[in-house]
Structure 1
Amino acid sequence: MADQDYTLADDLLEFIDAAPSPWHAAAIMAAQLQGMGFEELREDTAWTLRPGGDYFVRRGGASLVAFRVGSDPAGSGLRIIGTHTDSPGFRVRPEAAVGTDNGPGTLRTVGVEVYGGPIVASFADRDLGLAGPVWVSEPGTVATPRLFSSPHPLVRLPNLAIHLNRGVNEEGLKFQLQDQLALTFAENDDGAGEAGLREYLAAELGTTADAVTAWELAVADLQPGTRFGREREFIANSQLDNLASCHAGLHALVNERPARGVTMLACFDHEEVGSESHRGAAGNFLPSVMERLLAAVEARDAAGEVAARSWLVSADMAHAWNPNFPQAYDATHAPQVNGGPAIKLNAKQRYASDGEGEAWFRAACDRVGVPVQRYVHRNDIPCGSTIGPISAARLGIRTVDVGSPMWAMHSARESAGARDPAYLVAAFRSCLAEV
């Protein structure tokens, strides 16, 4: 692989810039799949599948499963890349825009809930927008979702000046999560701001305020992604965790056609809040798709054998060595950016990798010349988790947890290596190619 292959890094940055929410990410992937001849299936209709066919199905707007069917699924098994579309941050409350009543100002603010585990202070003083589905009703009909993204920076979390917070550099920037996260939205100048968020959304969507019945809006950092460094060998953007894995999985899927088995990409919502939802990895979305797939190719009776022949790669970003904070790492298991994917291991099964999975993934990477690293968490810091253990337990499929190393995971602005997207795609293609 060429050391200066940044094409996929640039493509990843464009993908993230166009996907300010998990719903947008799923919609973009669906459009790309359709453009490549994949047929969209619906869960509420019967499926007719054929060997050599390419398909995808969505659930809840933000989760997507795509798959390609080979000539003998029952005899060869499945190769699955599993990942997630959501990222930590803020979500807009149902009654969002309110006037300030604790001072002389005439501002209106947007109230939010914390979603997942973001680095809250990293969202301060940034160009923020709102993005996600807005449900709009027509007379006599049930409301339907319309995908919305603010066309310009819309809200902001202003910081407090150091003159009024003298200890900020010693004590760190902290926000009281209930009382200090209101996002500045509008003035009430001459009553113009009284309309609030609902009226703003209605005007943007070409409808009336009464027709806006609900929303699921994420707060999105609107600064475009970039490459940086002496040779521009690093990348920075929002949502690298985990849209980088979705992007790599999609590229691998569409470029590797299975000969006999099934290749699959499963992208779930709600991983950052535990996956316990109908469109999360702990729900029945992927098991249902697998059951219907096997039934459609007359292999339902061989489900156990298929599972035993299958592999799932749980793809989520990994923590890269940060030289400013060496105390946060086990130094012998601290991967480097631009060093290739890391196999993530944890004795408490916070990651699903085991010796067999490590050997299998290493062999796949060796076939295409991709370097491999290991990540193991410190014993004295709680370890996060992924969809890997959840999916392995639900499906009974051998699973390995891997991810590209990155800095500042869960920040509003994350960073990583510009060569790693190409490494990850090549590794995933090799994993899919053997089925």
Structure 2
Amino acid sequence: MPAIDAPAYLDDFAAFVQASPSSYHAAAEVARRLEAAGFERLDEADAWPSGPGRRVVVRDGAVIAWVEPAGAAPTAPVRILGAHTDSPSFKLKPSPSTAAAGLLQAGVEIYGGPLLNSWLDRELELAGRLVTRDGAVHLARTGPMLRIPQLAIHLDREQNKALSLDKQRHVQPVWGAGEEGDVLAELAADAGVPAADVVGYDVLLADTAPPQRFGRDGVFFASGRMDNLSSVYAGLVALLAAPSDAGHLSVLAAFDHEELGSESRSGAAGPFLEDVLARIGDGLAATAEDRRRAAADSWLLSSDAGHGVHPNHPERHDPVNRPVLGGGPLLKLNANQRYASDALGSAMWAAACERAGVPTQPFVSNNTVPCGSTIGPISATRLGIRTVDVGVPLLSMHSARELAHVDDLVALGAAVTAFFAG
């Protein structure tokens, strides 16, 4: 396989992150890039074409794209890269414009499980979608406009011992001075629509600091939303390189709402991927028997960021399996099926990494520190497709600004490309 141009990969990944401050922007950016490369954009309400092709469909903040090779049989298996577009953050509440102590504030509620303290004293933006009276959807973002100010040490001398943030009182951002203001009007202005026409919105906060390489020889990469745009981008790059003459279909499925449990129409627990695969099968004239045979020979690679060993907190990790930043993408394992990897999946992933010429390393939790879960077990349960959980190791996961090793980011792209190549 041709090697990935690492500097170009990292520069373009940084541009992708900056274009994706919300799940809605991320799904739109994936579709935009694929369309520019010749993919056909489909609408779920239309009849879909059959036959070979490169296609993409967006549902809210989720996107699914695929390459159907020429001559694909009704029993052709699929190779799916599953990821998610959302990240922990804060979501704008109804009636969000408030004021206190001569400052305008935005009312927000917690989205997922962010590291709250990491969001303090950062220049933030509002980003998401607005829906107007005519039913039209408008993507909008304000650019740097908000900040959650921390209490000065002089007013609470105990903060360095035990910082405790009340989720209602302490995380409402300021965005202007005075007593009168409409935060939604700022978003509407960006979208070019009258504020009075906005009747619905899904809007979140995002850190505006650009991604940055740093450290000796530039080995580190700091950015917001690497959990899980690192996997979405790897899947995008791999799908663009996917062969059109393979014996399988290559699929990128980037879901929304993973940070909330995936239970939505655009989440992995919803019907989106199942719907798309069914319609692809219809186009192949696949029978129920054909679909079962195809599923039995298919693979789903659930790619989501994982934990590298933290040098200041080594006791939080397994004492033997200790994945490090720069050691390669993770193979994520869990005896209680919080991850879907098993022995067959481990072998498949090892083969993909070997073909790509990149290392991999196992991740398993310390028994006293239960791990989270991913879309892997959910998708495996819904589809019955063999599934393996992988991802890049991070430090500061769920921070407003996470930390990765540049080699791991590039290696994930190479391994997913090998996975699609078959």
In 1, the alpha carbon distance for the partners of 2:418 and 2:186 equals 48
- Is residue 205 of structure 2 the alignment partner of residue 215 of structure 1? no
Which residue of the partner structure matches residue 227 of structure 1? 213
Q: Which of 156, 162, 167 matches 1:165?
A: 156
Which residue of the partner structure matches residue 251 of structure 2? 264
Which residue of the partner structure matches residue 380 of structure 2? 392
- Is residue 21 of structure 2 the alignment partner of residue 20 of structure 1? yes
Matched position secondary structure for 2:170? coil
**C-alpha deviation, 1:4, in angstroms:** 9.1
Q: CA RMSD in A?
A: 1.5
Which residue of the partner structure matches residue 65 of structure 1? 64
Which residue of the partner structure matches residue 231 of structure 2? 245
In 1, the alpha carbon distance for the partners of 2:7 and 2:185 equals 43
**C-alpha deviation, 1:3, in angstroms:** 11
Question: Could you tell me which amino acid in structure 2 is paired with residue 344 of structure 1?
Answer: K
Question: Could you tell me which amino acid in structure 1 is paired with residue 296 of structure 2?
Answer: A
In 1, the alpha carbon distance for the partners of 2:307 and 2:281 equals 37
Question: Could you tell me which amino acid in structure 1 is paired with residue 402 of structure 2?
Answer: E
Does the CA-based 8 Å contact 2:227-2:304 persist in structure 1?
yes
Question: Could you tell me which amino acid in structure 1 is paired with residue 112 of structure 2?
Answer: G
Percent identity between the aligned chains? 43
Question: Could you tell me which amino acid in structure 1 is paired with residue 22 of structure 2?
Answer: S
Matched position secondary structure for 1:216? strand
Which residue of the partner structure matches residue 93 of structure 2? 93
**C-alpha deviation, 1:263, in angstroms:** 0.5
In 1, the alpha carbon distance for the partners of 2:122 and 2:185 equals 24
Q: Higher mean Cα deviation, 363-372 or 284-293?
A: 363-372
**C-alpha deviation, 1:256, in angstroms:** 1.6
Residue deviations 1:270-319 (CA, integer Å, cap 9, x gap): 00000000000000000000011001111243110000000000000010
Q: Which of 164, 180, 183 matches 1:174?
A: 164
Does the CA-based 8 Å contact 1:78-1:263 persist in structure 2?
yes
Structure 2 gap ranges (5+): none
| 1:24-423 correspondence runs (5 A) | 24-51=25-52, 53-60=53-60, 62-70=61-69, 71-100=71-100, 105-137=101-133, 142-151=134-143, 153-171=144-162, 173-188=163-178, 194-258=180-244, 259-301=246-288, 302-423=290-411
In 2, the alpha carbon distance for the partners of 1:346 and 1:88 equals 23
In 2, the alpha carbon distance for the partners of 1:390 and 1:422 equals 27
In 2, the alpha carbon distance for the partners of 1:418 and 1:297 equals 40
Q: Higher mean Cα deviation, 337-346 or 42-51?
A: 42-51
**C-alpha deviation, 1:365, in angstroms:** 1.1
In 2, the alpha carbon distance for the partners of 1:331 and 1:316 equals 23
**C-alpha deviation, 1:6, in angstroms:** 3.1
Distance 1:430 1:205, change over 3 A: closer
Structure 1 gap ranges (5+): none
Question: Could you tell me which amino acid in structure 2 is paired with residue 56 of structure 1?
Answer: V
In 1, the alpha carbon distance for the partners of 2:383 and 2:120 equals 41
In 2, the alpha carbon distance for the partners of 1:76 and 1:97 equals 53
Question: Could you tell me which amino acid in structure 2 is paired with residue 425 of structure 1?
Answer: G
Matched position secondary structure for 2:228? helix
Residue deviations 1:191-235 (CA, integer Å, cap 9, x gap): xx5132133333333333321212111100000110011100110
Aligned residues: 418
Q: Higher mean Cα deviation, 298-307 or 391-400?
A: 298-307
**C-alpha deviation, 1:339, in angstroms:** 1.4
**C-alpha deviation, 1:333, in angstroms:** 1.6
Matched position secondary structure for 1:10? helix
Question: Could you tell me which amino acid in structure 2 is paired with residue 121 of structure 1?
Answer: N
In 2, the alpha carbon distance for the partners of 1:209 and 1:45 equals 31
In 2, the alpha carbon distance for the partners of 1:207 and 1:72 equals 45
Matched position secondary structure for 1:194? coil
**C-alpha deviation, 1:132, in angstroms:** 0.6
**C-alpha deviation, 1:5, in angstroms:** 3.2
If the length of structure 2 is used for normalisation, what is the TM-score?
0.96
**C-alpha deviation, 1:402, in angstroms:** 0.2
Does the CA-based 8 Å contact 1:317-1:405 persist in structure 2?
yes
**C-alpha deviation, 1:10, in angstroms:** 2.1
Question: Could you tell me which amino acid in structure 2 is paired with residue 91 of structure 1?
Answer: K
**C-alpha deviation, 1:376, in angstroms:** 0.0
Question: Could you tell me which amino acid in structure 2 is paired with residue 111 of structure 1?
Answer: G
Residue deviations 1:354-403 (CA, integer Å, cap 9, x gap): 01100111011112211110000111112100000000000000000000
**C-alpha deviation, 1:260, in angstroms:** 2.1
Residue deviations 1:87-140 (CA, integer Å, cap 9, x gap): 00101112101122xxxx211210101000100110000010100101122xxx
Question: Could you tell me which amino acid in structure 1 is paired with residue 420 of structure 2?
Answer: L
Q: Higher mean Cα deviation, 306-315 or 375-384?
A: 375-384
In 1, the alpha carbon distance for the partners of 2:294 and 2:230 equals 29
Distance 1:4 1:328, change over 3 A: farther
Distance 1:73 1:114, change over 3 A: farther
Does the CA-based 8 Å contact 2:124-2:207 persist in structure 1?
yes
